[in-house]
Amino acid sequence: MIVAPDTTALRRHIRELEDGSRRIAFVPTMGNLHAGHLALVTQAQACADAVVVSIFVNPMQFAAHEDLDKYPRTLDADLAALESIGVDVVFTPTVTDVYPEGVEAHTAIHVPVLGDVLCGRERPGHFDGVCTVVYKLLEMVKPDVAVFGEKDLQQLLIIKKMVNDLNLDIDVHSGPTQRAADGLALSSRNQYLTADERAIAPKLWETLQTCAGQLRSAAGLEGGSILDVARASLAQAGFAVDYLELRVLSTLAESESLSEDCALFVAARLGQTRLIDNIQIAAA
């Protein structure tokens, strides 16, 4: 496994892969890798000859009051995990390498509509930072395929639109959400939970499943009240709910029925930890 610490080294190794006519898959991460990340890498290996993984905690997607400074950084463990599953190249750039003139002076990419709701509404500027760094990484790596997880479903939809709108010649693949045995979606932020909060956290997925079942049975007549009850249930369990909403998958427009393929999206806080999850629901 090759570790490329800057863009110069990355480009040299990418050229070597391209000279061998190897199909390249790319998995961008912010490190602190868990089984969910490694599942994406395994998926990438199945559809390409070589896999590049980036590890970069992107300051552009964090607001001033968010957890950039305390975001867990575990580079040595991450490299060991990636080497154990046969990753070809790991790109570990510095902030200066990605943003030579600083984040504030850097051009940003904004995906309208899809990026303005849900987490885009609750975290203004977040998806601009995500899209900007993903675009830059895609241009640096020049992969044939990029793999993103469905746990961040809104992010996945936004990236797909960005790739399409900007005519990038890249196939975007999605990987299913990986979960703990009790249903909690795997996330680097789960480690922030106290023992008591961790015991409560699986109710997020349980609530999404219950809501999805009720919506399928409601024939489009009770969507609003179903979600109201679910929000109240989460609040009673100790969550501070940012949103729990049913959205049309193609547009992220609000919906109260399953007349189109939809997803339930939730973001809620337990103590200081913000958790997100989703469940996709086919049209009735």
In a domain, 284, yes or no: no
Tell me the average confidence (pLDDT) per consecutive run of 10 residues in the chain, 284 residues long: 97 91 95 98 97 98 89 96 98 97 96 98 97 98 98 98 98 98 97 97 98 82 84 98 97 92 98 97 92
In a domain, 181, yes or no: no
Give 58's DSSP letter: -
Separation CA 62–CA 125 (nearest Å): 8
The torsion of the CA quartet 54, 56, 61, 62, rounded to 10 degrees, works out to: 150
Separation CA 82–CA 88 (nearest Å): 9
At residue 24, what are phi and psi to the nearest 5 degrees?
-110, 130
- Of 124, 143, 175, the residue that ends a domain is 175
- Of 112, 141, 175, the residue that ends a domain is 175
> Domain check: are 100 and 14 in the same one?
yes
- pLDDT at residue 116, rounded to an integer: 98
Residue whose token pair is 């939970």: 193
In a domain, 37, yes or no: yes
**Strand 171-175 versus strand 240-248 pairing type:** unpaired
- pLDDT at residue 219, rounded to an integer: 53
Angle at 284 between CA 205 and CA 259, to 5 degrees: 100
At residue 4, what are phi and psi to the nearest 5 degrees?
-105, 110
> Domain check: are 39 and 168 in the same one?
yes
> Domain check: are 166 and 195 in the same one?
no
> Domain check: are 137 and 266 in the same one?
no
CB 53 within 8 A of CB 82: yes
Separation CA 23–CA 27 (nearest Å): 14
| Pick from 83, 96, 27: nearest CA to 55 | 27
In a domain, 182, yes or no: no
In a domain, 263, yes or no: yes
Give the residue numbers annotated as catalytic, written as ranges: 37
pLDDT tens, 17-26?
A: 888 889 999 9
The widest CA-to-CA distance across the chain, in whole angstroms, is 59
Residue whose token pair is 């997880």: 149
In a domain, 205, yes or no: yes
List CB contacts of 107: < 8 A, sequence separation 6 or more. Answer: 132
> Domain check: are 203 and 153 in the same one?
no
| Pick from 108, 73, 86, 98: nearest CA to 41 | 86
> Domain check: are 171 and 192 in the same one?
no
**Token code pair at residue 173:** 């693949």
Give the CATH number of the domain where residue 256 resides.
Answer: 3.30.1300.10
> Domain check: are 92 and 145 in the same one?
yes
> Domain check: are 41 and 125 in the same one?
yes
- pLDDT at residue 65, rounded to an integer: 85
In a domain, 170, yes or no: yes
List CB contacts of 136: < 8 A, sequence separation 6 or more. Answer: 98
> Domain check: are 119 and 218 in the same one?
no
pTM assigned to the model:
0.96
- Of 175, 207, 231, the residue that ends a domain is 175
Q: Which domain holds residue 45?
A: 2-175
Give the CATH number of the domain where residue 159 resides.
Answer: 3.40.50.620
**Token code pair at residue 86:** 């046969």
In a domain, 24, yes or no: yes
- pLDDT at residue 251, rounded to an integer: 97
> Domain check: are 130 and 205 in the same one?
no
In order of 103, 105, 126, 213, the CA distances from 61 in angstroms are 10, 14, 4, 34
**Token code pair at residue 157:** 């939809």
> Domain check: are 79 and 196 in the same one?
no
> Domain check: are 156 and 203 in the same one?
no
CB 204 within 8 A of CB 242: no
How many separate domains does the chain show? Answer: 2
**Token code pair at residue 282:** 């086919």
| Pick from 157, 59, 164, 155: nearest CA to 104 | 59
